[in-house]
Amino acid sequence: MLDGFKKFILRGNVVDMAVGVVMGAAFGAVVTELTKAFLTPLIALVVGKPDYSKLSFAVRGTVFPIGEFVNAAISFFLIAAAIYFLVVVPVNMLVARMNRGEKPPDPTTKKCPECLSEIPIEAKRCSHCTQPVMARVA
Give CA angle at 125 (121, 129), nearest 5°. Answer: 115
Ordered by where they begin, the domains of the chain are 10-98 (1.10.1200.120), 105-138 (no CATH)
Percent of the chain with pLDDT over 90: 6
- Compute the average pLDDT of residues 46-51: 71
Q: Stretch 6-20: mean pLDDT, rounded?
A: 75
Task: Note the pLDDT of residue 136.
Answer: 57
Nearest partner of 35 among 83, 1, 69, 84, judged by Cα:
69
Mean of the per-residue pLDDT values of the chain: 82
- For residue 12, the model assigns a pLDDT of 66
CA-derived radius of gyration, the chain? 28
Please report the pLDDT score of residue 59 as a whole number. 93
- Distance, C-alpha 32 to centroid of its chain: 20
- Residue type at position 129: C
CA 85 to the chain's CA centroid:
12
Q: What sign has the CA pseudo-torsion 88, 89, 94, 100? A: positive
Please answer whether residues 67 and 54 qualify as being in contact, where contact means their C-beta atoms are separated by less than 8 angstroms. Answer: yes
